[in-house]
Every structure is written in structure tokens, then in C-alpha cells.
Amino acid sequence: MSDYLLEMRGITKSFSGVKALDGIDLRVRPGECVGLCGENGAGKSTMMKVLSAVHPYGSWGGTILWNGQELRCTTIKESEEAGIVIIHQELMLIPQLSVAENIFLGREPRTFGGMIDFDAMYVEAARLLSGLRMGHINPVQPVSNYAGGEQQLIEIAKALSKNAKLLILDEPTSSLTKSETAILLRLVKDLKSRGTACVYISHKLEEIEEIADSVTVIRDGRFVGDAPMADLTTSDIIRMMVGREMNNLFPREEHPIGEIVFEAIGITCLDPENRLRKRVDDVSFSLRKGEILGIAGLVGAGRTELVSALFGAYRGTHSGEVKIDGKLVKIRNPREAVRHGLCMVPEDRKAHGIVPGLGVGYNITLSVLDDFTKAGLIDEAQEFATIGDAIKRLRIKTASPLLPISNLSGGNQQKAVISKMLEPKPRVLILDEPTRGVDVGAKYEIYKLMFSLVREGMSIIMVSSELPEVLGISDRVLVIGEGELRGDFINDDTLTQERVLTAAITPLKRAA
């Protein structure tokens, strides 16, 4: 009998001749949680797709041993029957179907007549959700009624209903709030204590530290090493991931700050479902040339609503005024925003940032196609020169600029979306959670890029839920809580996480 529940040996995988995995080993003991770490594009998701037969047996090389026996699954269903269940990095729920239908998709309880037994399905789903402390989620509602974080929890409930022996979580917390993350980590610990093993992929190394018993690191498709978590520090993991020492995670640079270029005055956003509720309540602020303005707050505070309203992309009713260079401007949609020199990298790249089937390169130039068009013809040479520069500037890892963007690793898709929004050369760039799903090395590069942009005179608004990032990068910090502007601080040595958090939860005292 083998010591291991799972042994993957010398796994190789190529896409059209390009090696994504080049001989990777991964071992998991029964009931153990293995953290799988590596930079964007290292091959983590691909490795897990090999294991769960998203890439079927025969399309990759090497061996998988499961309880000491060779495993040769050709369908996801087969791997699930063996007890391997994966929660993918990109959500796979069907928005129009109910929560219960999503959970039991393809395994619906049936009546004697063979029809779907909806009553039984709702009851079972409700029981499952409340057992996972998710009793507030209604199994009858369509999934689309729930926000990103809740959808992620529904996905997790779905996976858990399948009685996994090995659960694979591929960046499960990238759209979760702190408290949802805590729920998830507790669930994984519960499962572990009941003997379920797991492979946990995350760029948030503090989660790896909390949950993993051992860590396997891969780089550029190759195995770097594995060790018990107890023998490692996070800086060891970072060094193994990026191949060098990284002491300073925030490369803050001095840069001149000029006159006010942008003003938001009395921005108010009504909840699209309930117009009596204000998601953003009379927020005003200004932004100077060359300034990096961080917007902090708890998830759900109204930060994304605020910046989408500024960009003309808020889906409900909103009011307020925007001034650029002291002049009032009307921004009714993103196109007008871009024309006025305002660009935004949205929080949800899948819904708003990319055209999945289109090549990486064409995604990048999509917003500036007119620049390459003369007399109705596209100057391809010029377009490709621009694409080449963009790919180099952010070191986007792609086999070719023509590869559909959906084939890029998650973090590299994010870098491509940022590139796309730089092409119109905006004066004001809004970044909503720019480093979500991005590895430590690439985060550093994004920060460097932000500093070089502000030195060229651009101004940046950055929404981020990572307080160390907000404090590490911003010149000024706005704090939003329950739709209100609760703080506007210069980011000097006196500004601490505690002060920001205190401001976030302290309601304003308004004149009656």
C-alpha cells in the first residue's frame, strides 16, 4: 500500500507544440492539504486539469497513481467517480438556472416517473447549504441574483455535495470577502479533519500558510521543490516561485504631484433592485495630476459602484457631476469616458474586460482600433508593433499574440486587460482590484508600471481590498463605508491599517 493518496509523476503537457508542463511531480497523502504555488502561467491550473481529466488521458504524458493504482480518466465524470473534484479558477455556474439546479446539474434527483424531482432537489440543496453555514442562500433563486463571492460559495457547495476524496481549489478566494474567506478556510479544515485531502492553489500566501500541510512549487512548467509547510516561511515560497529574493514588495517611488485634473461631485448611485437604497451616497473627491489615489473599504461598501458610475458603466440610476480640468463633462457610457481621457480596468474581467475567443493581441488593441484604420483599412504592421510592445511591457506570457485570450493563465489575462486600457493613453486610469489573481512578481511589475505612468503625468484611481497594497502604493487614500465617504487621508507614516479600518466602519454624523 502506498503512503500517498495521489502521486503524479513526470507530468508533461503541450499546447500546439508549446510545453506548458515539463515533467512535474505532485504527491498528496490522505487527509493532507497541499498548497500548489507558482507564478502566473507556471502551469498550476493545467496540472489540475490533467488530474481532473479536463485534459483527458492520452493528451498528456507521465503517470497518475491514485491509491497506488494507475488512473486513466478520459472524462471529468470518471475522475469525479474516483473522488477527485475540482473547483475551477473561473466560475462555471449557469447564471439563469437556480442555485439548486446548478448544484445538482447532471445528477438531479428523479421521481419514479423519471422527471426531475424539484421538491426533493430544493430540500436537499437547502440542507446542504445550511450545513455549510450558507443558510442565507436561497436554493430556488437563480444564481445570477447572487454576487461573485456568494457564487463562489455556491460552487463550493456543489463540489462538496459530490463526496470528494480529493478536493482541488484553484484560487477559490479571489472574489471572496474576508469573512467569506474565513468561512471557506474553516470548511477546508473541517473536511481535512474528516479525511478529505485537498490541493489548494492561491497567490495569497497567508492562506497557504494557514491551510497547507505541505507546499509544492512549480516554475515555467517545471518542478522546483516540495517541503512541509512547517519548514517554510512565505519568503522561502516566494524565492522558490520567482527564483530570486524579494524583500521589498512595494517599489514606492517619488514623483511630482500637480494641479487638480479630475473632480467627482456629489456622486450618488441607487441600488438597481431597490431604488430606496443608496449604494453610493453623495461622494465627492478630487484627483491631482500624477497622483495615485487608493480607494479602500470593505467589500460591498460601494467602491466598484462609485468608479463604474464615473466611467459611465453603472447599471442603475446615478447622479452627480464630473469635472475634468475644471470643466463639467457628461459621461453617459464608457465610450464617452474614453473620449474624455478616462479608462477603467474592471473588477470582473470575464464579464467586462475581455472577448474570450479573440486573440490576446486583438483584445489589447480593441479599444483603439480606429488608430490603425486608414481609409477603411487596418494597418496590420502598425497594429502588431503596438501589440508586441504591450506584451513586452507587462511581460504577458503567451505562446503567440494570436492565441485566444481565454487560453492564457488567469493572471496573464489580467495583465492583458490592463494593457488594453493603457492603449487609449488615458489621463485618468481607474484600476478596480488590479492585482487580483496576479502573482507576487507580476504585482511588483504592475506597481512599477503604475509609478512610471504617474511620472509621465497620468493620474490613477486604484480600488483595492488589500490594505497593504493600498498603503504601500497610494499617495492619498479615500475610505468608503456603506456608500459614504468616511475618510480622505494623505498617505504618510501616520496612516495605518487600523486607522483606515476604523474610518471604514465609523458612520458619518450628518446634519439633520
Ligand X SMILES: Nc1ncnc2c1ncn2[C@@H]1O[C@H](COP(=O)(O)OP(=O)(O)OP(=O)(O)O)[C@@H](O)[C@H]1O
Interface positions with ligand X (CB under 6 A): 15, 20, 38, 40-46, 89, 397-399, 403, 407-412, 439
Report the residue closest to Mg ion, judged by CB. 45
Q: Choose from Mg ion, ligand X, none: what does 38 bind? Cβ within 5-8 Å by kind.
A: ligand X
In a 3-state reduction of DSSP, which class is residue 378? strand
Q: Choose from ligand X, Mg ion, none: what does 82 bind? Cβ within 5-8 Å by kind.
A: none
Min. distance of Cβ 511 from Mg ion in angstroms?
50
Q: Choose from Mg ion, ligand X, none: what does 290 bind? Cβ within 5-8 Å by kind.
A: none
H or E stretch covering 380: helix 380-393
Q: Report the C-alpha gap between 392 and 386 in whole angstroms.
A: 10
The phi-psi region of residue 101 (left if phi > 0; otherwise alpha if psi is between -120 and 50; otherwise beta) is alpha
Of the pair 59, 138, the CB lying nearest ligand X is at 59
Min. distance of Cβ 22 from ligand X in angstroms?
11
Beta strand 84-87 pairing with 166-170: parallel
Rule CB under 5 A: which of 373-412 touch Mg ion? 409-410
In a 3-state reduction of DSSP, which class is residue 245? coil
Segment near Mg ion (CB under 5 A); pick from 40-48, 222-230, 262-270, 457-465? 40-48
Segment near Mg ion (CB under 5 A); pick from 41-49, 75-83, 190-198, 288-296? 41-49
Segment near Mg ion (CB under 5 A); pick from 69-77, 82-90, 121-129, 386-394? 82-90
Q: Report the C-alpha gap between 413 and 405 in whole angstroms.
A: 6
Beta strand 318-324 pairing with 292-297: unpaired
The gap between the terminal CA atoms of the chain, to the nearest Å, is: 74
Of the pair 433, 482, the CB lying nearest ligand X is at 433
Min. distance of Cβ 47 from ligand X in angstroms?
7
Beta strand 278-288 pairing with 260-270: antiparallel
Report whether 40 contacts 439 (CB < 8 A): yes
H or E stretch covering 156: helix 148-160
In a 3-state reduction of DSSP, which class is residue 322? strand
Q: Choose from Mg ion, ligand X, none: what does 20 bind? Cβ within 5-8 Å by kind.
A: ligand X
* Contact residues for 95 (Cβ-Cβ < 8 A; gap 6+): 142, 143, 144
Of the pair 123, 358, the CB lying nearest ligand X is at 358
Query: Binders of Mg ion: how many residues, by CB under 5 A?
Result: 4
Min. distance of Cβ 442 from ligand X in angstroms?
8
Of the pair 174, 365, the CB lying nearest Mg ion is at 174
Q: Report the C-alpha gap between 275 and 435 in whole angstroms.
A: 32
Q: Choose from ligand X, Mg ion, none: what does 173 bind? Cβ within 5-8 Å by kind.
A: none
Q: Report the C-alpha gap between 33 and 168 in whole angstroms.
A: 10
Segment near Mg ion (CB under 5 A); pick from 28-36, 88-96, 147-155, 479-487? 88-96
Closest of 293, 195, 345 to residue 491, by C-alpha: 293
Of the pair 43, 172, the CB lying nearest ligand X is at 43
Of the pair 202, 304, the CB lying nearest ligand X is at 202
Min. distance of Cβ 402 from Mg ion in angstroms?
21
Min. distance of Cβ 155 from ligand X in angstroms?
16
Min. distance of Cβ 496 from ligand X in angstroms?
31
Cell of 154: 455556491
What is the DSSP secondary-structure string of 172-230? TTTT--HHHHHHHHHHHHHHHHTT-EEEEE-S-HHHHHHH-SEEEEEETTEEEEEEEGG
Among 45, 161, 202, 474, binds Mg ion (CB under 5 A): 45
State the CB neighbour count (10 A cutoff) for residue 284: 13
Of the pair 209, 271, the CB lying nearest ligand X is at 209
Q: Choose from ligand X, Mg ion, none: what does 313 bind? Cβ within 5-8 Å by kind.
A: none
Q: Choose from ligand X, Mg ion, none: what does 297 bind? Cβ within 5-8 Å by kind.
A: none
Q: Give burial (CB, 10 Å; 0-12/13-18/19+) of 259.
A: exposed
Segment near Mg ion (CB under 5 A); pick from 85-93, 173-181, 368-376, 459-467? 85-93
Min. distance of Cβ 273 from Mg ion in angstroms?
33
Min. distance of Cβ 370 from ligand X in angstroms?
29
Cell of 131: 450545513
Rule CB under 5 A: which of 407-426 touch Mg ion? 409-410
Report whether 3 contacts 371 (CB < 8 A): no
Min. distance of Cβ 256 from ligand X in angstroms?
34
State the CB neighbour count (10 A cutoff) for residue 264: 20
Min. distance of Cβ 81 from ligand X in angstroms?
24
Q: Report if residue 221 touches Mg ion, rule: CB under 5 A.
A: no
| Binding site residues, Mg ion, CB under 5 A | 45, 89, 409-410
